[in-house]
Amino acid sequence: MIYAALAVLVYAGVYVFRRWGPLGVIFSEGKMRVGDYDGALRRLRWMSLCGPNIFLLHKEALVLSMAGRPDEALPCYRKAIGMASKGSRYPLERLLASLGYALMDLGRYGEAEQCFHRAIEAGDHTGNSQDGLVELRLVQGVEIEKALGYANQAIEHAKRRVDGRIPGAYYAHRAWALALLGRSEEAREPLAQALSVPEPNARGRASLSWRAGMVLLAMHQTEEARKHFQTGWDADPRGKYGRRCESHLRGAA
């Protein structure tokens, strides 16, 4: 009887431990959804007291990235990638793509490019890595034709997702590339498509507002761009996209 009870306890312990990471991710998402990044980090780090977990490491890195702290996110991404490379079933391509975005935020564009390509080679068929290759070029203002090609690829990949949802950012990046190429009339349709995609959380709304603002700046519509930057700043003042929006507002003041 005692052995049976111990076996049940061990099984229950293993069951809970295996699901501890996903539970931690869910537990922190409410805070992150409203832009409380410090609150999300506190919850994740409390859940991490039981030991390193690839789910929790990835989520912590994402929270730090969205809070505009990519330098702090890098060690979490690298540790999670190390764990994924040792036989974990966790999708390595997601970690590589996420690391690429953090490196891009740090201006380490060559390393970011390598990460996005490695993610594609590892099996990223979502369009996320192609979208990273687009943004990489747009923020530098280089190889815009190539950026447009990657934007089209990202959208086509997203169409094949199970839910068929195409993130607004993909359309916004296509519009941004067209605007930088001087094709403003063509840019209007993907910009409208981007703005029609509902964003359920603060970071998503700020992200889309920043991108819309950048499209409109490239189209020389400064006042319209400013409205979107204000929306992004209001939506997520503690996040990286909200701060980017604020920076443009201050620059225009």
Q: Is the predicted pLDDT of residue 175 greater than 70, yes or no?
A: yes
User: What pLDDT was estimated at residue 2?
Assistant: 54
Would you say residue 82 lies in a domain?
A: yes
User: What pLDDT was estimated at residue 22?
Assistant: 58
Would you say residue 250 lies in a domain?
A: no
User: What pLDDT was estimated at residue 18?
Assistant: 43
User: What pLDDT was estimated at residue 13?
Assistant: 35
Would you say residue 111 lies in a domain?
A: yes
Would you say residue 187 lies in a domain?
A: no
User: What pLDDT was estimated at residue 146?
Assistant: 98
CATH number of the domain encompassing residue 55:
1.25.40.10
What is the band of 27 on the pLDDT scale with cuts at 50, 70, 90? low
Would you say residue 173 lies in a domain?
A: no
What is the band of 48 on the pLDDT scale with cuts at 50, 70, 90? confident
How many domains would you assign to the chain?
1
Q: What is the DSSP letter of 50?
A: G
Average pLDDT estimate for 10-23? 41
- Which CA distances in Å does 88 have to 20, 29, 55, 79, 181? 15, 23, 11, 13, 43
Would you say residue 175 lies in a domain?
A: no
Cα 67 from Cα 181, distance rounded (Å): 31
Which two tokens mark 64? 């730090």
User: What pLDDT was estimated at residue 115?
Assistant: 98
Q: Is the predicted pLDDT of residue 106 greater than 60, yes or no?
A: yes
What is the band of 85 on the pLDDT scale with cuts at 50, 70, 90? confident
Q: Is the predicted pLDDT of residue 144 greater than 60, yes or no?
A: yes
Give the predicted TM-score (pTM) of the model.
0.86
Q: Is the predicted pLDDT of residue 8 greater than 90, yes or no?
A: no
Q: Which domain holds residue 102?
A: 1-124
Q: What percent of the chain has pLDDT over 70?
A: 87
**Which position has the higher pLDDT, 97 or 26?**
97
Q: What percent of the chain has pLDDT over 90?
A: 72
* Strand boundaries in 43-136, DSSP class E: none
Would you say residue 150 lies in a domain?
A: no
What is the band of 239 on the pLDDT scale with cuts at 50, 70, 90? very high
Cα 249 from Cα 253, distance rounded (Å): 6
Report whether 222 contacts 238 (CB < 8 A). Answer: no
